[in-house]
């Protein structure tokens, strides 16, 4: 689909065919299992298409089209792809909703639908994770999650005395400004390295 779209638009796909196949693989597999898999049914098929595609496509495409319009990356003609799908998928969703309700007539079918939709939505998350990874490859940390990297490095961020220029110039002024207001106060330190600033303020009778 991406290759066909590329042929009739000004967009040049930045990925090779094997990369595209890897990016979309989670969604393809999830929809195949729900729609034509060994244990698929009419209930699982329509639920997958409704909850996993038509119902949410308009929201996804609206946000994408707004960004692409502001970025100037697409021409007005290319943006029409998203705008048409937004209108069409809203209409599709309205018609499919009645079919989903009809196919959810008992508890067993409703449980089946819940499981299928969960797999489809998980696959969508995996799709976007892979798309981001393709656009922004790992930076040498093996794709390790940011929080994990932060925790590993945090023990190395120990600074008990002034060491950098701002410790001698800017921060003393900030500390003097804060000092009259610290007694009995609470301090919240957000994203400030090892907390050198709040550590200094702590000396002045903070409550916590």
Number of residues that make up the chain: 208
Q: What share of the chain is helix, strand, coil (3-state, %, to 5)?
A: 70, 0, 30
pLDDT digit string (tens) for 7-22?
Answer: 444 555 677 888 889 9
**What is the model's pLDDT at position 181?**
79
* Cα–Cα distance, 102 to 96 (Å, whole number): 10
* Cα–Cα distance, 139 to 171 (Å, whole number): 32
Cα angle value 43/49/50 (rounded, 5°)? 85
**Tokens 């979309």 sit at which residue?**
24
Look at residues 103, 133, 124 and name the one whose alpha carbon lies nearest to residue 56.
Answer: 124
* Cα–Cα distance, 169 to 79 (Å, whole number): 51
Look at residues 192, 136, 137 and name the one whose alpha carbon lies nearest to residue 167.
Answer: 192
Query: Cα 199 from chain centroid?
Result: 34
Residue 205 or 5, more confident: 205
Average pLDDT value for residue range 84-100:
86
Residue 135 or 98, more confident: 98
């Amino acid at each position: 689909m991406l290759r066909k779209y590329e042929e009739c638009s000004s967009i040049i796909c930045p990925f090779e065919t094997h990369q595209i196949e890897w990016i979309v693989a989670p969604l393809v597999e999830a929809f195949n299992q729900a729609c034509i898999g060994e244990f698929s049914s009419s209930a699982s098929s329509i639920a997958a298409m409704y909850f996993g595609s038509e119902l949410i496509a308009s929201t996804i495409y609206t946000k994408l089209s707004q960004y692409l319009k502001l970025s100037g990356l697409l021409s007005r003609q290319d943006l029409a792809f998203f705008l048409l799908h937004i209108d069409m998928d809203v209409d599709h969703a309205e018609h499919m909703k009645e079919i989903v309700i009809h196919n959810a007539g008992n508890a067993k079918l409703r449980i089946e639908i819940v499981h299928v939709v969960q797999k489809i939505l998980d696959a969508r998350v995996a799709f976007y994770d892979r798309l981001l990874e393709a656009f922004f490859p790992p930076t040498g940390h093996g794709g390790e999650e940011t929080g994990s990297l932060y925790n590993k490095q945090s023990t190395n961020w120990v600074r008990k005395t002034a060491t950098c220029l701002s410790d001698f110039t800017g921060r003393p002024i900030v500390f003097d400004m804060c000092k009259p207001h610290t007694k009995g106060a609470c301090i919240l330190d957000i994203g400030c390295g090892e907390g050198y600033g709040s550590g200094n303020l702590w000396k002045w009778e903070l409550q916590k």
